[in-house]
Amino acid sequence: MHVLVINCGSSSVKYVLFDGDENRVLEGKRERLGPTSGERAETHQQAIAAILDSLGDHRVDAVGHRVVHGGADFFESQVIDAPVRAAIERRIPDAPMHNPFSLAAINKAQEALPDIAHVAVFDTAFHARMPRRARTYAIDQDVADTYGIQRYGFHGISHQYAAGIAAKFLERPLEDLRLITLHLGNGASATAVEFGRSTETSMGNTPLEGLVMGTRSGDVDAGVLLSLLRSGEFDVDQLDDLLNNKSGLSGLSGMGNDLRDIQQAAADGDSRARLAINVFVHRARKYIGAYAAAMGGVDAIVFTGGIGENSASMRRRILQRLEFLGCVLDEDRNIDASVQTDEDYALITTGRSRVEALVVKTNEELMIARETVKTVSKARAPVALSVPIAISARHCHLTEETFAALFGQDATPTPIADLSQPGQYACAETVDIVGPRNKIEGVRLLGPLRPSNQVEISTSDEFHLGVDAPVRASGNVRGSAPIVLVGPQGIVKLQEGLICAWRHIHMRPSDAEAFGVENGDEVSVAITGGERDLILGDVLIRVHENYALEMHIDTDEANAAGLGQGARGHLSASDVDEATLVYTGLDETALVH
Ligand code: AMP
C-alpha cells in the first residue's frame, strides 16, 4: 500500500509518500501557513492542494493524517468518516492550534482524493487506555465529567514508535519491558510504557502539562493562574500566550527556544541560560524517578526528539544521579551516539548498567503510515459488530409463593427502577442468602415474579458462601444448587435455584440477523477499552422479540476486564459500554482485534 502521510501543525504541513516497502518516495514541508503567519500567508487548504499537485502521477492508495486530539473517543486510528470528522471537530476547543488545521487538511484531501481511505492517527490514542488513577485529576468529579477534564496525553505516536524501536533493539518483547520514553523537542513529554501500554504520561488535558518545553511551561501550580487573573493584569488570552508561547526554555532563558543557542550562552556564563538548562533537566529527571516508582521499576530509558536525539550534554545531565536506579551512563557512548536513520540506535549505558538508556530517532511519519495500512486492512476484514455491556450484580427472581413466605402474605414487589430489558424492574425488596460458610445480605429482587426461583451469584460469591453453583442459562435451574433465603417475614430453604449466570447477549431477531447468529449460539466477545482487554468465550445468544440488545456479564467478569460500575438498577451500565462481537467460526487472528 502506498501511503501519503500528512502531518499538519499549526503553521506547517509535513508530508511523506511511502511506497509498499516503507521507502520515502517523496517528502517535503510547507511552512509559514495559517493565521499566525500573517494575513497573506498560504492557508492549510492551499498547502494541501499544492502538495497533492506535486504528487503528479505517483500512486497513492491511502492517506494517513496526524490528528493531535482524539479525546477519549478513540483508542486507535480510525478511517475518517462523518462521525470521526465530527469527533475531531468537537475537540477543537481543547486543541485550538491543531485540530482546526487537521480538519481543514482532511477535508481538502478527501475532496481531492475521494475514492481512497483517509485515516486519522491520533496523538492521544496510545494514552487512551491509561489507568483511571493516572487519567483522573483530583477535582470535583461532576465538574470533570461535565467539562471532559481528564488527562489525555499527547505525542503518543512518537512514544509508541520509540518504545517499539527500543524493544526491537533490546531484542526483548515490548510486553516484557517497562520503559520510560522521553520525547524531548520543542514539545516535550515523558511516558511510562509498561509492558507495551502507556500507563502514565506527562502531558495532560492539553499539551501544556509536564516537562519544560521550547515555549511551553509544563507543570505550573494552578494557583499561579488564579493569582495572575486576580491581579487584573492578565486576561485569559494573555495567560494562554504566557504559558504556551512565552514560557519554557524561551521564557527561562530570555533568548528564544533553540537549545543550541541556550547551551552556547550557558557556556559563555549566562545565568538565565544556565537556569533554563537546569530547570529542564531537573524536571525530566524528576519524571523519570516518578515513572520508575509508578511502574515498580524500569528496564530502559529511551531518548528521542530533537533534543533527546542530538544533545549528549542534556542526556548526561538528565541521567546523572540515576545510578540508584541501576542506570549507569557510558560517557563515551553518549558522546558518540548518533541516530541519523530509522535503523540507527545508540546504547548509552555501560555493560554493567541494569537499566539501559538508549537513543532512537523518532519517525512519526512512518508510524502514521504503518497505522494507516493497519487501519485500512482492518476495515476491510470481516465486520465486527458491537454490543453494549451491562454488569449484573448478584440478584434473585422469586415465585409468588416464595415472595409471600419471605415478605408476608399480603406483600407485593415494589418496583423502584426499570431495567434495560423491557418489562423487567429492580424492586425495593432484598433478601439475605445464607450458605454453609457465610451469608450475603441485601441481594436485590428483580421483578416480575416468575414461575421458578432463581438466585444468580458470581464465582467469588460461591467461595464466600461455601456453595457450588453451576453455570446456567437463566431459567434453567433444574438440579442447580440449594440455598437458604432470609426475608423480613420468614426463611425459605430452596432445594435448587442457585446459579452462576451464563454470560449472554439479549437481542432481537433483527439484531441476530445482522450479527449472523441464532438463538442458542455461542460466540466470543472481545472487550476493549477497559483497563484490561479481555476476550470472553462461550457467550450465549438469546434472541426474543421483547429483548433489548445488551450483553450481561457478572461482576467477576467485569472486574477481569477492568470495567467500572455505573448505576442502572441492579443491572448497571459500565463506563466502557462497547464490546466487539466476533462471529464464531473466525480464526484466532480475527479475534485479536
Ligand atoms: P524538535 O521539536 O523535536 O524538532 O526539537 C527541536 C529542539 O531540538 C530545539 O530546541 C533544538 O534546539 C534542539 N536541537 C536540535 N539539534 C540539537 C543539537 N545538536 N544540540 C542541542 N539541541 C538540539
Tens-digit pLDDT profile for residues 200-250: 999 999 999 999 999 999 999 999 999 999 999 999 999 999 999 999 999
Taking the C-alpha atoms of 92, 93, 97 and 101 in order, what is their torsion angle to the nearest 10 degrees? 20
**Which is higher by pLDDT, 470 or 280?**
280
**What's the confidence (pLDDT) of residue 384?**
55
Mutate to test the pocket of ligand 1, among 186, 277, 363 (most ligand atoms within 8 A of CB): 186
What pLDDT band is residue 387 in, cutting at 50, 70 and 90? confident
Q: Above pLDDT 90, what percent of the chain?
A: 68
Q: Which of 296-310, 406-420, 572-586 shows the lowest mean pLDDT across its residues?
A: 572-586
Give the model's pLDDT for residue 43.
87
Q: Whose C-alpha lies nearest to ligand 1, atom 23? A: 307
CA distance linking residue 66 with residue 6, whole number of Å: 6
Least Cα distance to 363 among 387, 386, 339 occurs for 339
Beta strands 439-447 and 395-397: pairing type? parallel
Q: Among 31, 154, 259, which residue has the most ligand 1 atoms within 8 Å of its CB, making it the best to mutate? A: 259
CA 38-89-2 angle, 5° bins:
85
Domains of the chain plus CATH, in order, are 1-122 (3.30.420.40), 153-378 (3.30.420.40), 379-388+504-586 (no CATH), 393-500 (no CATH)
Per the DSSP assignment, residues forming a β-bridge with 415 are 427
Q: Can you tell me the mean pLDDT for 34-63?
A: 86
For every residue of 212-232, DSSP letters joined together read --SS---S--HHHHHHHHHHT
Q: Look at ligand 1, atom 18, and give the residue with the nearest C-alpha.
A: 310
Which pLDDT score, from 0 to 100, does residue 41 have?
78
Could you identify the atom of ligand 1 that is nearest to the CA of residue 257?
10
Kindly give the number of the ligand 1 atom that is closest to the alpha carbon of 259. Answer: 12
- State the distance from the centre of ligand 1 to the C-alpha of 77, rounded, in angstroms: 29
Q: Are 541 and 507 in contact (CB under 8 A)?
A: yes
pLDDT for 382 equals: 53
In this prediction, residue 519 has a pLDDT band, given cuts at 50, 70 and 90, of: confident
pLDDT at site 385: 66
pLDDT value of residue 570: 24
Write down the pLDDT at residue 223.
97
Report the pLDDT averaged over residues 394-405.
Answer: 96
**What local confidence, expressed as pLDDT, does residue 528 receive?**
67
138-142, 270-274, 385-389: least confidently modelled range: 385-389
The residue whose CA has the least distance to atom 4 of ligand 1 is: 306
Pocket test for ligand 1, best of 307, 314, 315, 360 (most atoms within 8 A of CB): 307
| Mean pLDDT within 79-99 | 89
**Weakest mean pLDDT among 129-133, 496-500, 533-537:** 533-537
Q: What is the pLDDT of residues 149-205, one digit of tens each?
A: 999 999 999 999 999 999 999 999 998 899 999 999 999 999 999 999 999 999 999
Residue 564: pLDDT band by 50, 70, 90 thresholds? low
Cell digits of residue 434: 445464607
Looking up cell 437458604 gives: 484
Radius of gyration of the chain (CA): 29
- Ligand 1 binding site (Cβ under 6 Å of any ligand atom): 185-186, 214, 257-260, 305-307, 310-311
CA of 217 relative to ligand 1 center, distance in Å: 17
Looking at every residue in the chain, the average pLDDT score rounds to: 88
Q: What is the mean pLDDT of residues 272-282?
A: 98
pLDDT above 50 (res 591): no
For the cut 60, the answer to whether the pLDDT of residue 578 exceeds it is no
> At residue 576, does pLDDT exceed 50?
no
* pLDDT at residue number 592: 25
| pLDDT value for 587 | 29
Q: Using CA atoms, how far apart are residues 473 and 205, in angstroms rounded to an integer?
A: 44
* Ligand 1 atom at minimum distance from 187 CA: 2
- Kindly report, residue by residue over 297-348, the tens digit of the pLDDT: 999 999 999 999 999 999 999 999 999 999 999 999 999 998 888 777 899 9
Helices marked H in 491-560: 509-515, 555-560
In angstroms, what is the span from residue 200 Cα to ligand 1's centroid?
Answer: 24
Higher pLDDT, 10 or 139: 139
| For residues 486-498, average pLDDT | 96
Indicate if the alpha-carbon torsion angle 306, 307, 311, 312 is positive or negative.
negative
Residue 324 CB neighbours (<10 A): 8
Q: What is the pLDDT of residues 444-460, one digit of tens each?
A: 999 999 999 999 999 99
CB 242 within 8 A of CB 248: no
Q: Hey, whose CA ends up nearest to atom 17 of ligand 1?
A: 310
Which of 215, 257, 310 most suits a substitution to test ligand 1, by most atoms within 8 Å of the C-beta? 310
The residue-averaged pLDDT of 420-429 equals 89
Ligand 1 centroid distance, CA of 263 (Å)? 11
Amino acid at 297: G
Give catalytic residue positions. Answer: 123
Confidence of residue 36 (pLDDT cuts 50, 70, 90): low
Q: Ligand 1 centre from 363 Cα, in Å?
A: 15
When pLDDT is cut at 50, 70 and 90, the band that residue 531 belongs to is low
Mean pLDDT value across residues 114-120: 95
Of residues 315, 373, 303, the one with CA closest to residue 158: 303
Which residue has 414461575 as its cell numbers? 451
Report whether 273 contacts 249 (CB < 8 A).
no
How confident is the model at residue 572, as a pLDDT?
25
Which carries the bigger pLDDT value, residue 510 or residue 180?
Answer: 180
DSSP-assigned beta bridge partners for residue 483: 494
Q: How far is it, in rounded angstroms, from Cα 240 to Cα 524?
A: 49
Q: Of all protein residues, whose CA lies closest to atom 8 belonging to ligand 1?
A: 306
Averaged pLDDT for residues 541-562: 87
Q: Who wins on pLDDT, 206 or 589?
A: 206
- Reading the block at residue 499, the C-alpha cell is 446459579
Question: By the 8 A CB rule, do 348 and 378 touch?
Answer: no
Neighbours of 338 (CB within 10 A): 13
Cα of 260 from ligand 1 centre, angstroms: 7
